[in-house]
Amino acid sequence: MTSLKLSRKNTQFLMIDLQERLLPAIHGFEEIKANALRLVEGAKVLEVPFTYTEQYPKGLGSTDRQLLEKIEGKTAFQKLTFSCCDEEGFIDILEKNDKKQIVLWGIESHICVLATVMDLIKAGFTIWVAADACGSRNRNNHDLALRTMTQMGAIVVPTETVLYQLMERSGTPEFKALLPLFK
């Protein structure tokens, strides 16, 4: 069994559908975006493999501009299916990273995030959900989705928990680089 504790050697990140036309409709989108930016920066500093998706970009636009500025050298995995896993080639990307723990976040919690969590758990991954970087248009839908993910076996925590688990200790160059994100 994979250890439940996050470790850099066994973790990859997945950001789901934080797109410019959809994000402003999401309840609490400013906090969601701020936490997503922290996670993207964390992926860079901690050298954690990172994948991001876009749902029907022709209609919903591309990933939020501020996030794109932080994501260098990566291309969005474009999809039409609600579960990322139902899109051909998606699971192959995750398996190539050879990391069985996936920290994910995105929108909407009760649609694409939940469907993806279900399928990733079924595929044998240990899933951590950065709850404060997820959201839905309706807060109740978000809360119910997080509860459902927890019942299915996902570990639901705040962004800060994810990054501190991966840093492991204070005093390191990574800790010093990421500490300003939380002040």
Mean pLDDT per 10-residue interval, the chain, length 183 residues: 80 97 95 97 94 94 93 88 96 94 98 98 97 97 98 98 94 92 85
Domain that holds residue 37: 8-182
Q: Is residue 69 part of a domain?
A: yes
Q: Is residue 60 part of a domain?
A: yes
Helices (H), the chain: 29-46, 57-60, 65-70, 90-97, 114-122, 139-152, 159-167, 173-178
Q: Give the CATH number of the domain where residue 92 resides.
A: 3.40.50.850
Using CB atoms within 10 Å of the CB of residue 138, give its burial: 0 to 12 exposed, 13 to 18 middle, 19+ buried.
middle
Helices H, strands E: what count in the chain? 8, 6
> Model pTM?
0.95
Q: Is residue 3 part of a domain?
A: no
Segment holding 14, helix H or strand E: strand 11-16
